[in-house]
Chain A
Amino acid sequence: DQQVKQNSPSLSVQEGRISILNCDYTNSMFDYFLWYKKYPAEGPTFLISISSIKDKNEDGRFTVFLNKSAKHLSLHIVPSQPGDSAVYFCAASEGSGTYKYIFGTGTRLKVLA
């Protein structure tokens, strides 16, 4: 039973364009969400987070949008750069203080130069 779903296993985008990565969840108790980026042979690195009291959080080229009614969040990368090519995981939890996170299966983003 996958509580956090990333239905697109891969995505290709031209350099300079917008990348939109999507994530859906089923547990209405989730109230804290994160995105992680993973390069091959490295551990995931934290990218950006959002709590359920917000519907948008922005950090430089990265913006996360949360639609609670649809149980959907998305990560926008603008403009996309070749160095953004990686696997992106979304994760969710009940509260920001917990250490137990449910991760999605990941989306492999390829930014074409």
Chain B
Amino acid sequence: KAGVTQTPRYLIKTRGQQVTLSCSPISGHRSVSWYQQTPGQGLQFLFEYFSETQRNKGNFPGRFSGRQFSNSRSEMNVSTLELGDSALYLCASSPPSIGGANGYTFGSGTRLTVV
């Protein structure tokens, strides 16, 4: 079966711009979580959506937002980009029968570079 698909794979943006990243979960998975990976900080939790509702949120500024559609696809948006937003953004989906990150399937990520 198809895995978690993230688009685009690579993105270069200028400071001050905004960006939208997309994640298509595995069919049947209703929970989608987003993480930011940077070399010094590891994976940091951004937010988690389930049935179009944000259930959990990490400690990121309001410039980071997300949403989930009725087909479980999710997008995250970063406005007013800063150089420090350069990172690998990972999306993970999980089926409703398995709780927690042991049920995660991660996508390959979107590498965002802010210049």
Q: How many residues of B contact A (CB 8 A)?
A: 29
Q: How many residues of A contact B (CB 8 A)?
A: 27
Interface centre among A99, A103, A104 (most CB of B within 10 A): A99
B99:A100 contact, CB within 8 angstroms: no
Within 8 A of A (CB), among B53-106: 55-56, 58, 90, 92, 94, 99-106
* Residues of A with C-beta under 8 A to B56: 98-100
- Mostly, the B contact residues are strand
Query: How many A-B pairs with Cβ below 8 Å?
Result: 70
Known: A32-B100, A96-B100, A99-B31. A89 touches B109 (CB 8 A): no
- Mostly, the A contact residues are loop
Residue in B closest to A5 when the chains form the complex, CB atoms: B42
Tell me the complex Cα distance, A49–B104, Å.
Answer: 12
Q: How far is the CB of B105 from chain A (nearest CB, A)?
A: 8
Tell me the complex Cα distance, A103–B46, Å.
Answer: 12
- Which of A34, A43, A97, A98 contacts B92 (CB under 8 A)? A43
Kindly list 12 other residue pairs between chains A and B, CB separation below 8 angstroms, not including A97-B99, A103-B42, A104-B42.
A44-B104, A46-B101, A46-B103, A49-B102, A93-B100, A93-B101, A96-B99, A98-B100, A99-B50, A99-B94, A101-B101, A105-B40
